[in-house]
Amino acid sequence: MITVNNQDIQWDDKNVESIGERLAKGLSEQGYCIVDNFLQPSAVAGIRAHMNDQLEDGRFKAAGIGAAHKFQVNREIRKDYILWVDPNEAIAPTRKFCQQIAEIIRQLNRLCFLGLKDFEMHYAIYGENAYYHRHLDQFEFSDHRRLTFLCYLNTCWQLPDGGLLRLYLRNCDGQEIPFDIAPLAGRLVIFRSDEIEHEVLLCRKKRYSLTGWMLDQFNELTFL
Ligand code: OGA
Ligand code: MN
């Protein structure tokens, strides 16, 4: 059973359409949606173990800011380590996750006019005392990132562990409303990359996630 915006529903072939409808509603009305238990505990454990192996092999790199020629590693703004994922080469649970993201993209394209064509994704690890200051995910000179998705892999996460995702939402008067989301294992969060500023609050414990963007153009590593 998964939970989409606080309502329980089974993820299976018969239900993807109604899941898509709930996601589309959340995105259009609130700018974000949350799906709990999107990943099973066995998938969470498998992906985490793989990330730890890759980290030990030195495959993770300090994350940067901006893209291409504007790329810079600024440890004052963000302090996480990332490894880009090629869905075609990924381990089984990551590949299955990618297939579900592709299915969500198909559903959203049926219901919203986002023109999603592909996605890009990386593994991310925040160490103790890491954070990512307030930002928007679209680059200044490229706006192909339409929706941001995050899936967390932190079992037994407690409030003192920090690392909350803080979205800066607005009410109908345009007033800013911070909204915090705990990075709980198996939880998927999707939000509008062009609209929602957000940050990752200071982590007190190592924090694992899959982070990606649904794009309105084809990526080099096309999967859909
Ligand atoms: C990002 C980001 C949020 C999170 O990588 O751009 O904002 O909760 N991540 O990890
Ligand atoms: Mn971001």
Q: What is the pLDDT of residues 97-116, one digit of tens each?
A: 999 999 999 999 999 989 99
Q: What is the pLDDT of residues 71-86, one digit of tens each?
A: 666 666 788 999 999 9
pTM of the model as a whole: 0.92
Fold of the 2-221 domain: Jelly Rolls (2.60.120)
CB of 209 sitting under 6 A from ligand 1: yes
pLDDT-derived band at 58 (thresholds 50, 70, 90) equals very high
Report the relative pairing of strands 188-192 and 61-62 from DSSP bridges.
unpaired
Report the residue among 180, 202, 209 best suited for mutation to probe ligand 1: largest number of ligand atoms under 8 A from its CB: 209
CB of 165 sitting under 6 A from ligand 1: yes
Q: Cβ atoms within 10 A of the Cβ of 71, count?
A: 9
Q: Are 66 and 20 in contact (CB under 8 A)?
A: no
Between residues 73 and 214, which one has the greater pLDDT? 214
DSSP 14-68: TTHHHHHHHHHHHHHHTSEEEEET-S-HHHHHHHHHHHHHHHHTT--EE--BSSG
**Highest mean pLDDT range out of 18-32, 57-71, 89-103, 126-140?**
89-103
Q: Name the burial class of residue 13, with classes exposed (0-12), middle (13-18) and buried (19+) by CB atoms within 10 angstroms of its CB.
A: exposed
CB of 193 sitting under 6 A from ligand 1: no
CB of 211 sitting under 6 A from ligand 1: yes
Q: Are 118 and 224 in contact (CB under 8 A)?
A: yes
Query: What is the Å distance from ligand 1's center to 73 Cα?
Result: 16
